[in-house]
């Protein structure tokens, strides 16, 4: 399908369906200036996830891990939502039953006005205690002291899902249910390589949803989606509402 025609088809689908779910990945924030993970400039090209984003790495060298998150927080603090984030916040107002699921930890969907994004991988502005049940929001940039400490005297850790850790079960359940019940599922700016997030579009499709992908390039699931819109999400998503 020609892109113009595909955009018009998806625009109609959004208008005609009651239950729409969306999964976003790092690509939606790329136009805001937040680095992605796997592209040519991606974080995992420059850093080893094993050294920075695993529980073992944190146990070995919490200061190094915290320095890396402090640096990422300082990048995100300088950014703002782009037209892609804003279009999804608007879509939420137009669709009867809308669920936004994100793998992103940057918080830009919240800033854009999305009400309750389901954050599968945590939030870079949250911390939790390594010993007690304390969990808090902290927007200080740069962090001081580093590593930050809990009132109970133990170290705080980023409230992020690291490799080898489980996703927050309640959030994953809600995302799974939204995928199963969706009539239309949009998957935006993700390489669709990290599971279980990457399973959600396929769960939706098996349950009867139409699946639309928005990405700069083909991904692991492009062959399986119903419509693939190739281009920057900040340009394509606003057109889906026009
Ligand atoms: P990736 O970096 O793996 O993929 C980003 C995707 O966005 C790629 O498919 C790009 O082609 C696409 N992309 C880049 N710029 C875009 C733009 N302007 N418009 C549309 N698409 C664009 O990021 P994720 O798929 O989000 O986990 O990665 C999944 C998880 O792996 C992340 O949540 C992170 C990482 O390890 C944790 O930190 C727990």
Check the CA dihedral 230-212-87-84 and report its sign.
negative
| CA 241 centroid distance within chain | 21
User: What is the distance between the alpha carbons of residues 70 and 53, in angstroms, rounded to a whole number?
Assistant: 13
Global pTM value: 0.97
> Ligand 1: does its nearest atom lie under 6 Å from the Cβ of 42?
yes
> Ligand 1: does its nearest atom lie under 6 Å from the Cβ of 167?
no
The ligand 1 atom at the shortest distance from the C-alpha of residue 49 is 36
User: What is the distance between the alpha carbons of residues 58 and 53, in angstroms, rounded to a whole number?
Assistant: 8
Domain 35-78+124-160 bears CATH identifier 3.30.1600.10: yes
For the chain, residues classed under CATH 3.40.50.1220 are 3-33+80-121+166-241
Determine the pLDDT at residue 3. 84
For the chain, residues classed under CATH 3.30.1600.10 are 35-78+124-160
The ligand 1 atom at the shortest distance from the C-alpha of residue 214 is 20
Residues 6+ apart with CB under 8 A from 198: 190, 192, 220, 221
The average pLDDT across 150-155 equals 97
> Ligand 1: does its nearest atom lie under 6 Å from the Cβ of 159?
no
Q: What is the pLDDT of residues 166-214, one digit of tens each?
A: 999 999 999 999 999 999 999 999 999 999 999 999 999 999 999 999 9
> Ligand 1: does its nearest atom lie under 6 Å from the Cβ of 26?
yes
Given ligand 1 and candidates 31, 32, 37, 42, which is best to mutate, with the most ligand atoms within 8 Å of its CB? 37
195 among known catalytic residues: no
Would you state the CATH architecture of domain 3-33+80-121+166-241?
3-Layer(aba) Sandwich (3.40)
Residue with tokens 């039953």: 97
Q: What is the pLDDT of residues 21-73, one digit of tens each?
A: 999 999 999 999 999 999 888 999 888 888 899 999 999 999 999 999 999 99
Q: What is the pLDDT of residues 70-126, one digit of tens each?
A: 999 999 999 999 999 999 999 999 999 999 999 999 999 999 999 999 999 999 999
CA dihedral 100, 158, 215, 40 (to 10 degrees): 180
The ligand 1 atom at the shortest distance from the C-alpha of residue 31 is 18
β-pair partners for 126 = 137
């Amino acid at each position: 399908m020609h892109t113009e025609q595909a955009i018009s088809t998806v625009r109609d689908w959004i208008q005609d369906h009651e239950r729409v779910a969306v999964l976003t990945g790092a690509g939606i924030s790329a136009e805001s200036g937040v680095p992605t993970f796997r592209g040519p400039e991606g974080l995992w090209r420059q850093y080893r996830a094993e050294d920075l984003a695993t529980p073992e790495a944190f146990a070995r060298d919490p200061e190094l891990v915290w320095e890396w998150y402090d640096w990422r927080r300082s990048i995100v603090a300088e950014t703002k939502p782009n037209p892609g984030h804003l279009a999804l916040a608007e879509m939420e107002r137009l669709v009867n039953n809308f669920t936004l699921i994100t793998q992103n930890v940057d918080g830009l969907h919240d800033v854009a006005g999305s009400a309750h994004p389901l954050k599968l991988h945590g939030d870079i502005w949250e911390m939790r205690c390594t010993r007690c049940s304390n969990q808090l929001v902290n927007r200080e940039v740069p962090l001081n002291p580093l590593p930050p400490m809990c009132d109970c005297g133990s170290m705080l850790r980023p409230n992020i899902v690291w490799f080898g850790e489980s996703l927050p079960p309640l959030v994953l359940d809600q995302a799974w249910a939204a995928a199963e019940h969706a009539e239309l599922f949009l998957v935006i700016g993700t390489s669709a390589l990290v599971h279980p997030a990457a399973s959600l579009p396929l769960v939706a499709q098996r349950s009867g949803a139409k699946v639309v992908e928005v990405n700069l390039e083909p991904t692991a699931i492009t062959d399986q989606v119903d419509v693939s819109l190739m281009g920057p999400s900040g340009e394509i998503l606003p057109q889906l509402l026009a």
